[in-house]
Amino acid sequence: MASYKSLRPLVKSCAGWPPSAASRWFSNSVDPMVAPASFARNEEIFGEGEPVKYIFKIESGCVRTCTTLNDGRRQIGAFYVAGDYFGLEAVNIHNSTAEAVTPSKIRALNRSTRMSGSADDIVTIKHLLNLTGMELERTQRHNLIFLKSARERVVSFLIEMTERLHEKNDFNLPMGRQDIADYLGLTIETVSRMLKQLECGAMISVPTNRRIVLNNLPALNHMIA
Nearest approach, Cβ of residue 72 and a copy of itself (Å): 9
Residue 145 binds to DNA (criterion: CB under 7 A): no
Q: Which among a copy of itself, DNA, none contacts residue 206 (Cβ within 5 to 8 A by kind)?
A: DNA
The total of other beta-carbon atoms located within 10 Å of residue 116's CB is 5
Task: Work out which of 12, 141, 196, 222 binds DNA, going by CB under 7 A.
Answer: 196
Residue 53 binds to a copy of itself (criterion: CB under 8 A): no
Task: Work out which of 64, 107, 111, 177 binds DNA, going by CB under 7 A.
Answer: 177
Task: Work out which of 8, 12, 141, 222 binds a copy of itself, going by CB under 8 A.
Answer: 141
- Cβ atoms of 15 and 45 closer than 8 Å: yes
Residue 141 binds to DNA (criterion: CB under 7 A): no
Q: Which residues bind a copy of itself (CB under 8 A)?
A: 1-2, 67, 69-71, 73-75, 77, 88-91, 95-96, 113, 115, 118, 120, 122, 125-130, 132-137, 139-144, 146-149, 185, 225
